[in-house]
Amino acid sequence: MGALEPGDGFRNSSVPESLRGAPESSGGRRSQRTSRRLPRRAAAGRRSFTATLRSLEGLADSGAQVSVHVVDLDNHVHVLAGDDHVTMPVAGLGVVPLLIEVAAGFQSGALDPFEIVERENVDAVETSGLWRHLHAPALPLEDLAVLAATAGDPIAVNALLQKVGHERVRERIESLGLRRTALLDRFRDRRGPDDAPQVAVGSARELAGLFSALVNSQVVDAAVSAQVSEWLSLNQDLSLVAASTGLDPFAHDHDAHGLLFVNKTGRDRGVRAEAGVLAGPRAGVAYSLIVCFDDLSITHRLRAHDAFRVLGVELMEYTH
């Protein structure tokens, strides 16, 4: 993973204006206003994304740090890009490389998808997740991959990471050409001074590119790409960008209107992140949006969520 560099702003091919949200302070988490401005970029021949730009501008003016990347899957035009090279916390979105390594292990035979993992032998998480509420004390690796992809289950993720190991995930990330993305640690209820400060970090550009490569069968090989895409197509967190798609969170892998949607989200205190692919009858896009904000009140949180939903509306208009 490359070193964190200063952002060069929200940019496009025609307007060099830019805006940067101030990073969160380590003390009182007070917001700081800055003077950077967003570009008024129009998606060629389709949408201007003006509502998204206005929403992101408001977030940045309030002190949030914002990174976004949207690329057209057909012509590879960067529809929207802003601070997309900056490495930022992405929480559970960072498990996608782990899922890729697990799928590659299944494909090569290095991992047995039916190997049973005992929950009591896994680093526990008591504050979130689905498996902790189930009576099943053990599950096969493949079911754990499904739980990790669809529900972001932290114990399932910890079990997969415990089985695969950080080193193999790091090597996989490097082999994929990702320099600003890393899975730093397992999920924990509390992070002490000796723990990594974040579960994972990444850049919007790399994460959007990773999802584009997945749906184009370019990650490891066609079989691995298809397996990971299938797992992620079952994701039930459709509350951010996906809230504007109208898809059923529990059954959207075969949409009646021909909408293709694959995504993964990440959530932590003051962090919201999402990356995915949305394809409709007019176009297809790969996208990623990361917002780090001062989670001082429900208003701060809802303002961040609203930016994701506004982007979702304009992505729907772009693809449909």
Reply yes or no on whether the pLDDT at 24 is more than 50: no
Between residues 137 and 8, which one has the greater pLDDT? Answer: 137
Distance CA 253, CA 12 (A): 33
DSSP state of 91: G
**What's the chain's average pLDDT?**
87
pLDDT tens digits, residue range 57-106? 999 999 999 999 999 999 999 999 999 999 999 999 999 999 999 999 99
Mean of pLDDT values over 305-312:
97
Give residue 4's pLDDT. 30
> 26 pLDDT band (50/70/90 cuts)?
very low
Residue 8 has pLDDT above 80, yes or no: no
Are 240 and 212 in contact, with CB atoms under 8 Å apart?
A: no
Q: What whole-number percentage of the chain has pLDDT above 90?
A: 78
- Average pLDDT for residues 27-35, to the nearest whole number? 36
pLDDT per residue as tens digits for the range 195-217: 999 999 999 999 999 999 999 99
Q: Is the pLDDT of residue 48 over 50?
A: yes
Residue 1 has pLDDT above 80, yes or no: no
Give me the amino acid identity at 146. Answer: V
- Range 264-280 average pLDDT: 96
Q: How far is CA 320 from the centre of its chain?
A: 23
pLDDT value at residue 251: 87
pLDDT tens per residue, range 280-295:
999 999 999 999 999 9
Residue 297 backbone class (left: φ over 0; alpha: ψ -120 to 50; beta: rest): beta
264 and 235 Cβ atoms separated by less than 8 Å:
yes
- Band (47; pLDDT cuts 50, 70, 90): low
pLDDT confidence tier of residue 56, bands split at 50, 70 and 90? very high
> Helix, strand, or coil here: 301?
helix
CA distance 261 to 316: 11
pLDDT attached to residue 255:
80
Give the model's pLDDT for residue 17.
Answer: 34
Q: Which band of pLDDT confidence, cut at 50, 70 and 90, is reported for residue 309?
A: very high
The span from the CA of 235 to the CA of 146, in Å, is 9
SS (H, E, C) 97-154: HHHHHHHHHHHHCCCCCCCEEEHHHCCCCCCCCCHHHCCCCEEEHHHHHHHHHHHCCH
Q: Average the pLDDT over 120-137 and give the result.
A: 93
Cβ 180 vs Cβ 200: under 8 Å: no
Are the C-beta atoms of residues 290 and 273 closer than 8 Å to each other? yes
What is the predicted pLDDT for the residue at 14? 27
User: Residue 300's Cα: distance from chain center in Å?
Assistant: 20
Question: 300: pLDDT confidence band, cut at 50, 70 and 90?
Answer: very high
pLDDT above 60 (res 181): yes
Query: Does residue 13 surpass a pLDDT of 60?
Result: no
Task: Note the pLDDT of residue 178.
Answer: 97
pLDDT at 2: 35
